[in-house]
Amino acid sequence: MIIKNYLYNSLVMVFAGMFLVSAAPAMAKEDPPRDEPDPGYEEVYKLVGGSLPEIIKEDNKELVSLLLKPPLGKPLREAFNPDTAIKALFGRAGAPIAPGCKQIYTPSGDIDPGECQASRGEEAGGGIYKEFRFSKNMSLGNISFFDRPKAVEIDPGKLVPVRMTDQQAYDTARKFLQNTFGLPVSEETPAPPLANKAVNLSLPVKTLALGGVDREGGKFNVPVEKMVILQRGFNFRLGGTYGEYDWIPGPGKAMMVLDDRSLTSGGLREVVVRGWHEVKAHPDANPEFAKSRAMLSDEITRDLLNESTGRISKLNCRLVLDSIPTPSGVGLLLPAVQVHVSPVPADLSEDAQNALAMKSTAGFVRTYNLVELNETNPKGGEME
């Protein structure tokens, strides 16, 4: 057992000041700065123009008009029943709900944006613990659940590989989210159209794994769980060669982690619904003020240049429905373009990665409204 020597720490602290103003000493290896020039207007404008979805034209009045009337499902405020969820997650014994859950207003009279919690076990310590949280104001659309096992020593050789298939995980997650949390089917983007061989048939399911190396050099990598991710979408049936513009991403995402227990006992490790807001069209968005493709390209280009981003290797734009929060919790939907900017290409060799030292590497995302808002409530150019 290690006992930290804080007396030693304190002594070090006392002497630390002696070095605060010391000159930087010479070092064996220097790595001087490597500036990269910002791209010019023409270069960025061309990148933006080349990546905007083709569905965005010079005249977007009709598109904006359509996007302001999304086919909404029943909001979680109506569809989510905490009692049903608690029974499903904790069994007949249920779980006590924290006091104050019925207090949905703050002392100042505003709607409380906080969460209500029900739990079994102790959060602190190494025991079994289950925690269920949900928005007091379900218009905000946040729900989460964890089932934490007891903390025990883990032998890598005894890790049990998950056997569940992606399809089983996907089906189980969708069924649970719809039946227990009330997630509207009409807002869950369907799996890709299987009939079309041009598309990627993989489901939005990932495998989670634990790996490592022992002191003797023995290596282990064991898949232990499945993670299903469902992005909220709205089915506008906008078309495209393969129907790729039929569904437009909206605010909200659901994530569920399952292991093989989930198929037999109904046990779940983790479920999260985040930002699945109740939404309505932004009242100040008028299709007459839809931006043209050229206007949007210019706005995005100028904003990126203003940021002084350094090198841009890739730029991708996608049409989305953004949500502007309001005090009531109901989000105001706005058609928008989400721009992803990457300073490096998709795949790089190890040598190419080494050459990135002291250069821009982090990608970033920003969102731009597709329509100018009335001056009564300007929110144009919302930054992501």
Partner 1 sequence: MEQKGKRAGYGKQTLLVLFLASAVAVPAAAMEVKVFAIGDFVPSGSGGCGGGDRSHWPTMVDHWYDHMGVHGHTKDGQYTNGSMTIQRFCDPDWNGGCLDYLYVDEASAAMIATHGSDSGDHWAGTMRYPWGGHCALDAGGTSDDMWVGDFDLEFIHLSSCYSADDDNLPGIRHAMYDPVDSPNNGRRAHQWNGFHGLMWIGSRFDNDYKEFAHDAHSTSISRSWVHNLYDDRVDCAGYDPWNWFGTCQEQCPVAYSIGPTGSSALTRLVNERYNYVYADPTGNNGWAYRYIVACDPSGETAFSP
- Kindly identify the residues of this chain, within the stretch 311-350, that bind partner 1 according to CB under 8 A: 311, 314, 316-320, 340, 342-348, 350
Cα(202)–Cα(191) distance, rounded to whole angstroms?
8
CB of residue 343 to partner 1, shortest distance in Å: 6
- Kindly identify the residues of this chain, within the stretch 357-376, that bind partner 1 according to CB under 8 A: 357-367
Pairing relationship of beta strands 331-342 and 279-281 according to DSSP bridges: parallel
Among 45, 134, 146, 236, which residue sits at the site for partner 1 (rule: CB under 8 A)? 146
Q: Which stretch binds partner 1 (CB under 8 A): 58-66, 69-77, 104-112, 217-225?
A: 217-225
- Kindly identify the residues of this chain, within the stretch 5-24, that bind partner 1 according to CB under 8 A: 5-6, 8-10, 12-13, 16, 19-20, 22-24
Q: Which stretch binds partner 1 (CB under 8 A): 79-87, 91-99, 189-197, 290-298?
A: 189-197
CB of residue 376 to partner 1, shortest distance in Å: 24
Cα(227)–Cα(162) distance, rounded to whole angstroms?
11
Between 223 and 286, CB nearer to partner 1? 223
* Residue 197 near partner 1 by CB under 8 A: no
CB of residue 92 to partner 1, shortest distance in Å: 23
Here the tokens at position 121 are 């076990």
Distances (CA, A) of 49 to 123, 291, 316, 317: 51, 14, 10, 9
CB of residue 111 to partner 1, shortest distance in Å: 19
CB of residue 174 to partner 1, shortest distance in Å: 15
- DSSP type of residue 15: H
Between 92 and 158, CB nearer to partner 1? 158
Pairing relationship of beta strands 115-121 and 129-135 according to DSSP bridges: antiparallel
Among 40, 91, 161, 211, which residue sits at the site for partner 1 (rule: CB under 8 A)? 211
Cα(371)–Cα(222) distance, rounded to whole angstroms?
49
> How big is the CA angle at 15 (ends 12 and 18), to the nearest 5 degrees?
140
Residues 6 or more apart from 161 whose CB is under 8 A from it? 222, 223, 224
Distances (CA, A) of 92 to 48, 79, 176, 270, 320: 55, 21, 17, 19, 41
Between 308 and 376, CB nearer to partner 1? 308
Between 292 and 367, CB nearer to partner 1? 367
| Half-sphere exposure (Cβ direction) of 215: Cα atoms closer than 13 Å | 0
Give the long-range contacts of residues 303-308, CB within 8 A, separation 24 or more: 303/366, 303/368, 303/381, 304/44, 304/48, 304/339, 304/341, 304/366, 305/38, 305/39, 305/41, 305/44, 308/38
Between 155 and 375, CB nearer to partner 1? 155
In 122-218, where do the E strands start and end?
129-135, 143-148, 205-213
Between 93 and 357, CB nearer to partner 1? 357
- Kindly identify the residues of this chain, within the stretch 148-167, that bind partner 1 according to CB under 8 A: 148, 151-156
Site string for partner 1, 236-275 (x = CB under 8 A): ----x-x-xx-xxx-----x-x------------x-x-xx
* Residue 104 near partner 1 by CB under 8 A: no
Q: Which stretch binds partner 1 (CB under 8 A): 163-171, 223-231, 286-294, 295-303?
A: 223-231
Between 164 and 257, CB nearer to partner 1? 257
Cα(53)–Cα(316) distance, rounded to whole angstroms?
9
* Residue 26 near partner 1 by CB under 8 A: yes
